[in-house]
Amino acid sequence: MHADPKGVLTGVHFMDGDHACCEGALAAGARFAAGYPITPSTEVVERFAARIPTIGGIFIQMEDELAASIAIQGAVWGGAKAFTVTSGPGFSLMMEHIGLAAMTETPCVFVNVQRGGPSTGLPTLPGQADMMQARWGSHGDYGIIALCPNSPQECFDLTITAFNLSEEFRVPVMMMLDECVGHMTEKVVIPEAESIEVTPRRYTKRSPEEYRPFEPQEDLVPEMVKAGDGYRFHITGLTHDERGYPDMSVGTQDRLVRRLTEKVKPAGDGRALYETGDLDDAEVAVVSYGITSRVAQRALQLARARGIRAGKFRLITAWPFPERQIRELAGLVKAFVVPELNLGQMVYEVERSAAGKAKVIPVTHAGGTVHNPDVILDAIMEAVR
Amino acid sequence: MIETTLDIPADARNPVEPFLRMERMPHIWCAGCGIGTTVNCFTRALLKSKANLDKVAVVSGIGCTGRVAGYARLDSFHTTHGRAIPFATGLKLANPELQVVVYSGDGDLFAIGGNHFIHAARRNMDLKVICVNNMIYAMTGGQTAPTTPLEALTSTAPYGVSEPAFNLVSLAEAAGACYVARWTTYHVMQLSRSMEEALGKKGFCFIEVLSPCPTLYQRRNRMGDGLDAMKYYKEASKIRHGAPTSECSLSKSGEIVVGKFVDRERPDYCELLRAQMCQSLGERYAEPEVVCSR
Amino acid sequence: MAKGFVSIAAERCKGCGFCVEFCPTRVLVLSSAFNSTGYHPPHVVAAEKCSGCDLCGMYCPDFAIFGGRYAR
């Protein structure tokens, strides 16, 4: 279905990534946001708080991130499309409810504008060190989807994608910005509402008597209902059977947890989003994401100017990790260079997917600013040596 | 099987059954636990309130009382530890026609969830909060709760509790609740009436129910079983409607002041939000339409 | 003739004794027999006294008993 024009600010704008992310949420149909202030993410909800009363929806500033991250789930079960926004310390507090959303298959979006960590770290400066936390931060086995924009335009576009994927797969989807992308101001084109595709919620057509809340459909995703429609359904964070009732048996645990993990895999395998450039003849592939991909672009130009056959592979879908693409590429290039604003996170995924077929060189950075392109260039040169 | 000598009409049915997921019985609560008693009172209050049950949602946190959501044949949500109130807040704001009842225990609502409780009361969120207070963490084996009275023995205070307990009704009043009552599981009629009253009142309503935990609280403190707790409630309770909540602290074996302490009018969150938005935005304000289309 | 009746689902009973203790007309006692889970459920000893007030049903934490009044 098309976007509701009420939420779509059609036009050409000059705005930062945080604001563009908010506009993406509005265009995707989000009419509920709960948040707790934290730099450098607050502008997303500040804009939402300013915009939503004239569109028709709710913003509530909660007492902490635990509250914000579960208030959105209450709103979803009440029928809303909902999201919350935070940065590292708040993201840590939200982990419990990312697990709840995964377990109860609650479609919702978590935006994390990453800053330097650990702990309070660098509140106003960039980092990309929450990438593994996004995937593994809550306890237990589950799957999620995470997207990494590298421009304000992508903050807009991918936030819509994030909502759509969350509805399709009934999973929490993470928008993994970083401080630079969040605070970078560029041209953002917001199209007409008719040209924005919005995925509707997978509401069941079954009667309350026939409906089983966690009965998987062909794609392993169950159909949804909302409170107040007479289904008298039960939702629990406990291991549950297809009726949604707690069941502590090993068999039920196995079926449920495997399904929660399996169902998101297609979002990586065939449908992972990524951008490539100059890979046809490349000996070296630079794998990067977010702001680092823009620094890497400069390093790639410098490398090509020196006659080094280097190309880019930009991760847009970080999770599920595009294993197949990296595996195939590993057969073609000599080496991967992986710069990121952390001491090595996604590089382990590249290494695992390359499975020894190509050398993998991390270019680490503790955060606080971006890489110097020369450092990435050095790694590229080392890779072809 | 024991046969009764009574003539039972063929169509006689336990009035709680339509409210419960009977296929999940027997429940997990211990012999002599009072949580089931509070559920009886709640179902009868729902019956009397003539609420449309399709529009009533129960939200629970974690713990023994947290299991109420799993047994209620309503839209019911068993959330995370301490977070029933913020979940309920989102549910209510997204779908204001729902009557949202938070049903949880003292540890869940006042230790790990204490911050959410005071903020929801401050906002006067239109939620009905029923707290079954058994004075201990029961599900995990009898540890000290913020409601455990001084000197009581718990598994984490084997030499007696030394820290003062919360007075829940005073806390609720101070935080802004517009309806505050306390009963025990002995006071089934009064409790049910209070629940019915709260269901009919807009705003943040809080009902504390003292309830036996024979397995972990009574036994460790040599206070007998569930029935002994009920007899204590009967003997030690004094009904004092309108009593200043600051005078209603509880102790291990002292007087229990019960009654309706607060019943006041305050505009609720949604009314205040709407008024402020109308004042600032005038005709530009759009009424929230939060539910996404099919 | 009694005004009311009580219905007991003895298998669901956990023998807490609330219904026996708080029955205003002393209709019930705990049986000496066991149910299959090892509890002593109540049984009726004074059927004629039952007013059908359902206080037993209000108290029973196990939803194992309820009272009702006969239709006139």
| Residue B252 burial class via C-beta count within 10 angstroms: exposed 0-12, middle 13-18, buried 19 and up | middle
The confidence band for A270, taking pLDDT boundaries of 50, 70 and 90, is confident
B5 to C18: CB separation less than 8 angstroms, yes or no:
no
Contact list in B for residue A96 (CB cut-off 8 A) is 80, 83
Cα A201 from Cα A105, distance rounded (Å): 12
Which residues 6+ apart lie within 8 Å of B135 measured at CB?
A: B106, B145, B147, B148, B149, B152, B165, B210, B213, B217, B250
Which residues, listed in sequence order, are joined to residue A147 by a DSSP beta bridge?
Answer: A175, A317
- Whether the bond between A118 and the residue before it is cis, its omega within 30 degrees of 0, is yes
Query: For the segment A23-52, what is each residue's pLDDT rounded down to a tens digit?
Result: 999 999 999 999 999 999 999 999 999 999
> At residue B55, does pLDDT exceed 60?
yes
Distance, in Å, from the CA atom of B13 to the CA atom of B30, rounded to the nearest integer, reads 24
- The pLDDT of residue B1 is above 50: no
**Pairing relationship of beta strands A108-116 and A122-126 according to DSSP bridges:** antiparallel
Cα distance between residue C16 and residue A20, in whole Å: 61
Write out pLDDT tens, residues A67-80. 999 999 999 999 99
Mean of pLDDT values over A211-216 = 98
CATH number at residue B163: 3.40.50.970
pLDDT at A108 over 90: yes
Instruction: Tell me the chain B residues in contact with residue C6 when contact means C-beta distances shorter than 8 Å.
Output: 4, 6
Contacts (Cβ under 8 Å, ≥6 apart) of A56: A6, A31, B286, B287, B288, B289, B290
Identical topology for domains A5-195 and A274-384: yes
Fold of A274-384: Rossmann fold (3.40.50)
- Domain extent at residue B207: 21-265
pLDDT grade, residue B5 (50/70/90)?
A: low
In a domain? residue B271: no
Share of chain B above pLDDT 70, in %: 98
Assess A207–B contact: CB distance below 8 Å, yes or no: no
| Number of domains observed in the structure of chain B | 1
**Dist. CA B134–CA B266, nearest whole Å:** 30
**Mean per-residue pLDDT for B149-165?**
98
- Measured in degrees and rounded to the nearest 5, phi and psi for residue B219 equal -65, -45
Q: Taking CB atoms and an 8 Å cutoff, what residues of chain C touch B35?
A: 61
ipTM value: 0.97
**Which pLDDT does position C2 carry in this prediction?**
85
| Mean confidence (pLDDT) of chain A | 98
Q: How many CB atoms lie within 10 A of CB A306?
A: 12
Sign (positive or negative) of CA dihedral A15, A20, A26, A30:
negative
Domain ranges of chain A: 5-195, 274-384
Whether residue A63 and residue B115 make contact (CB cut-off 8 A), yes or no, is: yes
In a domain, B168, yes or no: yes
Touching chains C and A? (3+ Cβ pairs < 8 A): no
β-strand partners of B28: none
CATH number of A5-195: 3.40.50.970
Is the separation of the CB atoms in A137 and A95 below 8 Å? yes
pLDDT at C3 over 50: yes
Find tokens 């090595």 and name the residue: A344
The gap between the terminal CA atoms of chain A, to the nearest Å, is: 52
- Note the pLDDT of residue A356: 97
Residue B150 resides in a domain? yes
C-beta separation of B256 from B273 below 8 A: no
Top CATH class, C4-69 = alpha beta
What pLDDT, on the 0 to 100 scale, is given for residue B3?
A: 47
Instruction: From A193, A121, B194, B11, select the one nearest C71 (Cα to Cα).
Output: B11
Q: Using CB atoms, which chains have 3+ pairs under 8 A with B?
A: A, C
Helix (H) or strand (E) holding A115: strand A108-116
Across the interface, do B6 and C58 touch by the CB < 8 Å criterion? no
The alpha carbon of residue B14 is apart from the nearest alpha carbon of chain C, in Å, by: 6
Please write the tens of the pLDDT for every residue from A179-211.
Answer: 999 999 999 999 999 999 999 999 999 999 999
In a domain, B277, yes or no: no
Cβ neighbours of B89 in A, within 8 Å: 60, 62, 67, 71, 74
Q: Is position B119 within any domain?
A: yes
Residue contact B40–C60, C-beta within 8 A:
yes
Beta-carbon neighbour count of residue A9 at 10 Å? 18
- Helices A152-169 and A17-28: crossing angle, nearest 10°? 40
For A296, the 3-state DSSP assignment is helix
The DSSP element (H or E) to which A33 belongs, if any, is strand A32-35
Residue from B62, B200, B77, B130 nearest A75 by CA: B77
